[in-house]
Each structure stands twice: as structure tokens, then as C-alpha cells.
Structure 1
């Protein structure tokens, strides 16, 4: 038997370190290790080293550490994925950028605009690629809707809607541990980015929030909110509504809609598949119960996009072109965060609140 040697034309994969081996971090780890040919997971950092070691053993990752600084100091690592708690996102991004690592950061990019400004400075000084985990952009139906907007299929956007209803059981046992503002900073921030993305070129101007603890009313006095409706105004006159609830009994429900002068486009569905059962009791369908079920491919595709951008920087290759602005960066992170912070203030006062710091000009003033 004679084998013929073949020189691979495939570029070297992007070598990535993961920070945070929790629920979302573990899913990202499996994507990097198993589902993205252009990337390889080489190290995992998490203070809970037993959890990190178990994940590493499952995926054949040789390097585990409790300290993210070890990833930043490793010359063999091209980039990091930050999937730890939100309060650490900004400083980890800064440290990674200063070490010359490209960064994929789960939302939010920071907890306030001053923190995010420091991230922007570090990223600009290092010249690295920084991307935020607004995965909804990568969902097939949301991307199709955005392409319709770009093609003029809906005309000028006039009314927009986005909603997130997390699956639940009618109670939230961990409500006491949920940081104040979470519904805006970590849940609705996805909706804010989707609305901004669906209304291209328009700056968000003001918000008015109605919010309450309807699932767990006993925690309201501690500042916990589990239900919110946000009315958002844009400089181009468009009116948007975003809503969220932490306990949808029927499953994970995420949808978006753009109504304009020439028509309407919708994205998202409440059923897991298009299959519907018809029986004596009526109609029924399976619904997704987890974010990694509803957005399985979107979570994977956003990391594949990240790897392509890192490789283009590393190897001098052309950056990927998706036909519409897709890859969410620091400007997108800032605009969504500015809306979330205005929502927190509006929920506190009950008044319409101006959005400050969303535009590039405001951020640099």
C-alpha cells in the first residue's frame, strides 16, 4: 500500500482560550472544540478548577488554570472567549487586549459606559478584534429579516418590536441572587441590539419603562424585576417596544418584528420545529426550553465569525463579508448598554429618560 502525501490548503486554526466554564462557557467550549473547524480550544480558565478540569477532559483540552492571566501570557493563544460573570467582563477585556489577544466577550461588555470606554481605549491601543455575544444576529430568521430591511422590503421602519420570555415554572427560586438591573443589562440588552440592528443608522433617543416583579413580587422591595416593557424612540421617528419576562411556562420565546412604510417582516417562532400535532385535545407543538436549543446554531455561528475575523487579522486575509453589517463590536455594545442604563433610570423614576452615550460623538465628548 502506498500513501500519497497531501499538503493541506486549510489555514492554521485560531487558537482560543476560554474564560469561564459555566453554563454558557461550556457550550462555547463544545462549539470551539467540536463544531468550528477554523478554531481550536487550547485552554480553559475558571476559579472552579474541578468544573474546568471535567470540561477539559471531556473535550481533550490539555491546559486548565484558575487564573485568566495565564491565558493572556501564553504566546500560543491567539484569542480568548470571555464567558464569566458580567461584573468581570470589562477588566478581562482590557487585560486580554493589553496582552495582544483578540476578544469575544459575552454580553454586556461592561456594567457602565465608563468601564466600556476603558475597554475601547485598550482595544484601540492594541489593535485587536473585539466582538460581543449578540447571538440573535446570527439566527437564520433574524438575519433574513435584517437583509429584507437592507433591501428596502419594509420601506422606512416605523414600528419595531422585540421580546424575550425566558422559560420558567412560575417561580424563580434564585431571585434573591439576581443582581439589580439584570433584566435590562443581561436579558433585554439582546432586544436592544436587535432593535438597533433592525433600524440601521438611527440613534436611540429616549426610553420609558414599565417594570415590576410579577413572578416573584416578594423580592420587588429588594430591587428585583422580572417583567418589563420598554418603549424606545429613535431619532428617525421610529417607535420600538421591547418586552421581557423571566418565567414563560410554555418555553423559550424570542421574536422580532419590523413594520415599515412598505411592509413588515417578522423573525422568531415559539415552536421548536414546524411540526404540529392535531388531535382530539386540539393542536400541540414542541417548544424550546433552553437558550442553547433555540439558538444552538446562532451561538456556534457567532464564534465561527469571530474566528474568521481573528484569522483575517492574524494572517492578513480578507475579512468576511455577509452582505449586511453583522459582526457586533464595541459601538454596538455601547449603544445597547446606553439603552439598558437609561432603562434602569426610567424604571427607578417612572419617567421618560434620555439615552446618553449611545452615539460615537457622545462617547468621545
Structure 2
């Protein structure tokens, strides 16, 4: 690839999130082109590629990795396939953007990180809240000391609807939902690392699926090495919309971020006061999703380190695994104990 040529990116996974990323690569980023789509489901890659005027579609993902026309790949497949695909893409010499979580075990995370480092390719992970203007501004203010020393932090994710509880893999609420909040809490408390975690989880939305392993509601408390105490919470069914918020309380002030309202319009009428709410992640974080791929493309072009690394993904995963262990033990879990078991 020469500097004047568009960055050729291949998309792996033509599902809901993959389709959005494909649209971004095809239409929203100057200097980037969608070069190929791969998905093992019959017809899925071809359908998406045709819709976006992409010339190449594969049902074998390895064929995309072997495609010499592809400079970088975006992985948007089911979570439990991510680590193996990161390894394969890195071995093929492709720069890698991977949706969260990058892995579901620390051994997988380590293999992915080592593979990318060994191949000398960038590895970026999709923690999109770092690219939201409100969350990014909060991070910058905390880092600049604008609210003094962080003392209390909060991050929450409430999805709008639990459509089919039978399709939710075990521990999803920690590995795929709260993983965002764990990364966000680290992002909002820069320079600090978690010491221990205590988690509670239950099936409160669909208690009839609890015996099948469903956990749809969770609260996690985390203690950081700078003394700050944090709370992460999640629920799979907020009937009013897609609710993502954060808060940092410090010795000299407080920051809040996140707004579920679709616009700043508030309606006053006989039924009371109301506002339209966002009910879809691609609406709430549309610009952040685009910005993270723009940043990935820039890191590939300029050969700089990605802003959100495999190590960041591993750190968030470590908290998630500590939270899972805490639920199992019904007791706090030291982060260091989880790390030691992976060593």
C-alpha cells in the first residue's frame, strides 16, 4: 500500500454490528475502502458486499486473510470466535480491529496480543465509549485534575429489550455487556488499576430462565489502587430505551456523562412531561462507532500504536473474570488472584 492509495479493509462478520462497520468502511471514511466481506453463513457476505458495491465476498474467512489486496481487517463475529480470528489475521500480516470482547479467557487474550506483537501489526479493540464526546471529555478533565482526586465512579449499561433469553451464552452480562463498563471505569480513572471486585447477579427480567444459566441483571463494586470506589451495573431490559451513563465524583467536583434523550426537546402536555428516548446502540453511539474506525485507519496509515489496545481489552476482561468468580464464590475477589491463575 502506498500513501496515496485508499486503505483496503476487509470485514469479517456480516451480522448486525458488522453491517454497520461495513457501511462505515464503504461510505463514511475518506481514504478507506471496503475491500472484501467474509462470513461463513451462506450468502451473508455476498448480500452485504453487493449492497455496498464491494467487489469481493468470501464464505471462508481464511480466504479474506490470504487476500493480498486487504491491508487491514475488522472482526465483528460472535464474541467467542474473536481471539482465534485475531491470531489468524495477525499471522497473515493484517492490521486488526476487533469488536469487544477480544477474548473470553486470559490465555486467549495473551495469545492474541502476542500474535499481533510478533507480526508487528496494530491491534485495536472496540471500546466505543472512549470515542463518545462526553466520555472522552470526562476522561480528559479527570486526567487534567479538574475534579481533584477521583473518589466514586459509576458506569451503567441498560439494554432496551431481552428478545430471546435462550440465545444468551453463559456469563454474557459480564463478558459482553459489562466489559464496556469495566473499560469505562478504567478510562475514567486514568493511571489507576483495580484491586478487587465484588459482584451480584440474577435473572430478574426473565427469572424463568435462571435455571438455564441466564443472568440478566448485575451490580459490581470495584476498588482501585488509588482508593477510588466504583460501581458497574447492567440490565438487559430497560423498557424506556438504551441507557448508558457514567459519573465521576472527586475531591473538587463531579462529572456526569450519557443522555438517553433522542433530542433536547421536552414535551409538556396533559399526560405530563416527556421526551423521546434512544432505543438502539447504533443511534446512541453512531458517531463514536465511526470515530473508532477512523482512528484505527489512521493508526494503520501512520504506523502509530492504536489508542485502545489488546492490553486494554485484557485489563477489562480480568475485571469481568473476577466478577464471575465473585458471583460463584459469593465473596470479593482480588484482581491479582485472577491474573496469577493465568500466569
Place the TM-score, normalised by the shorter chain, in its bin.
over 0.9
The correspondence for 2:75, drawn from 64, 82, 101, is: 82
Deviations 1:235-256, CA, capped at 9 Å, x for gaps: 1111000000000000000000
Match status 1:196 vs 2:196: no
Show the counterpart of 1:184.
174
Aligned-partner Cα distance in 1 for 2:265–2:338: 42
* Structure 1 residue 281 displacement after superposition: 1.6
Farther off after superposition, 143-152 or 287-296: 143-152
Deviations 1:326-355, CA, capped at 9 Å, x for gaps: 821011101100000111111112111111
Name the CA shift for 1:363/1:157 in 2 (closer, same or farther; >3 Å).
farther
Structure 1 residues not aligned, in runs of 5+ = 1-9, 314-318, 321-325
* Structure 1 residue 223 displacement after superposition: 1.4
Structure 2 residues not aligned, in runs of 5+ = none
8 Å Cα contact 2:159/2:241 also seen in 1: yes
Aligned-partner Cα distance in 1 for 2:177–2:327: 15
- Report matched runs for 1:231-246 at 5 Å: 231-246=221-236
TM-score (normalizing by structure 1): 0.90
Show the counterpart of 1:323.
none
- Partner secondary structure for residue 290 of structure 2: helix
- Report matched runs for 1:179-328 at 5 Å: 179-313=169-303, 319=304, 327-328=307-308
Show the counterpart of 1:65.
58
Farther off after superposition, 133-142 or 269-278: 269-278
Equivalences, count: 342
Aligned-partner Cα distance in 1 for 2:190–2:135: 14
8 Å Cα contact 2:160/2:240 also seen in 1: yes
Aligned-partner Cα distance in 2 for 1:122–1:108: 17
Aligned-partner Cα distance in 1 for 2:119–2:313: 18
Match status 1:330 vs 2:310: yes
* Structure 1 residue 358 displacement after superposition: 8.0
- Report matched runs for 1:104-143 at 5 Å: 104-143=97-136
Farther off after superposition, 14-23 or 218-227: 218-227
8 Å Cα contact 2:322/2:338 also seen in 1: no
TM-score (normalizing by structure 2): 0.96
Root-mean-square deviation (CA, aligned residues, Å) is: 1.8
8 Å Cα contact 1:89/1:105 also seen in 2: yes
Show the counterpart of 2:93.
100
Farther off after superposition, 44-53 or 238-247: 44-53
- Partner secondary structure for residue 43 of structure 2: helix
8 Å Cα contact 2:12/2:37 also seen in 1: yes
8 Å Cα contact 2:106/2:342 also seen in 1: no
The correspondence for 1:167, drawn from 141, 155, 160, is: 160
- Partner secondary structure for residue 255 of structure 2: strand
* Structure 1 residue 58 displacement after superposition: 1.1
Aligned-partner Cα distance in 2 for 1:104–1:49: 24
